[in-house]
Amino acid sequence: MIDDFAKDFLHGRLKVIREALVWKLDGLSEYDIRRPLAATGTNLLGLVKHMATLEAWYFGEVFGRPSPEPLGRWQDADGSDLWVSPDETREQIIDFYQRAWKHADATINELPIDAPGHVPWWSHPDVKLLNIMIHVLQETTRHAGHADILREQLDGRTGLRAEYEEEIDTAARATHRAKIERAAQAAAGGAGHAGLSAPHGAVETTP
């Protein structure tokens, strides 16, 4: 009974966060979903592509249920799943992610939560389905959080789902931000002694 509850709960949370990650692309230009928004090159569509590849690997090869479409070998991973080339469309990447969901969901539905798997790129490669469900949920949540911050930098939109999104109150946000800035400066000894940390490859977020 508890095994079924745990599997259903984790699966349900994964489905919600998947949708949230894709929603972060809504209404943005082709440039804005692809542009690097951090010093490491992190970008919105790249995060979706990365999670599609990750789900296809973890809920496929790990359980002897390889993805029905060709994937690069994990041994050859070179970071190309973290950004999108000009000839890859938004629709193709989202469709890839949704096909990965379908394959992953079949694995989750058909296997018991203690089904054995093997992750050759982990230091302790022998796992159970429970381990992989928690790992993929953790990774999806982490990257959805990245996407939330990147989207806020672009146009101020935040939130988990469209139906919960609130109208942006620019003045209220500015007031709140100023209050936090004053608190930070006060903790650092005042505006003249703020002691800003040296930037490490900071990237401008406007074209």
Q: DSSP letter for 163, please.
A: G
User: What are phi and psi for residue 205, nearest 5 degrees?
Assistant: -100, 5
Distance CA 79, CA 46 (A): 10
| 67 vs 198 pLDDT, higher one | 67
Q: In the prediction, which pLDDT does 204 show?
A: 53
In single-letter form, the type of residue at position 42 comes to T
The DSSP annotation for 107-125 comes to HHHHS-TT-EEE-TTSSS-
In single-letter form, the type of residue at position 129 comes to L
Considering only CA atoms, which of 156, 12, 14, 163 is closest in space to residue 148?
156
Q: In the prediction, which pLDDT does 191 show?
A: 63
Work out the pLDDT band at 74, boundaries 50, 70, 90. low
- Return all residues near 114 (Cβ < 8 A) that are at least 6 apart: 3, 128, 129, 130
| Mean pLDDT lowest among 26-40, 54-68, 131-145, 151-165 | 151-165
pLDDT at position 127 over 80 = yes
Instruction: Convert the pLDDT of each residue in 145-176 to its tens digit.
Output: 999 999 999 999 998 877 777 889 999 999 99
- Return all residues near 127 (Cβ < 8 A) that are at least 6 apart: 62, 116, 117, 118, 119
Instruction: Convert the pLDDT of each residue in 130-150 to its tens digit.
Output: 999 999 999 999 999 999 999
Residue extents of the structural domains in the chain: 2-160, 169-194
Rounded to the nearest integer, the mean pLDDT of the chain is: 90
Please give the structure tokens belonging to residue 46.
């790249």
Q: How many CB atoms lie within 10 A of CB 163?
A: 6
Distance CA 196, CA 185 (A): 10
Instruction: Convert the pLDDT of each residue in 79-116 to its tens digit.
Output: 888 999 999 999 999 999 999 999 999 999 999 999 99
Helix (H) or strand (E) run with residue 47 in it: helix 44-58
- Superfamily of domain covering 2-160: dinb family like domain (1.20.120.450)
Q: What are the beta bridge partners of residue 126?
A: 118
pLDDT at position 67 over 90 = no
Work out the pLDDT band at 207, boundaries 50, 70, 90. very low
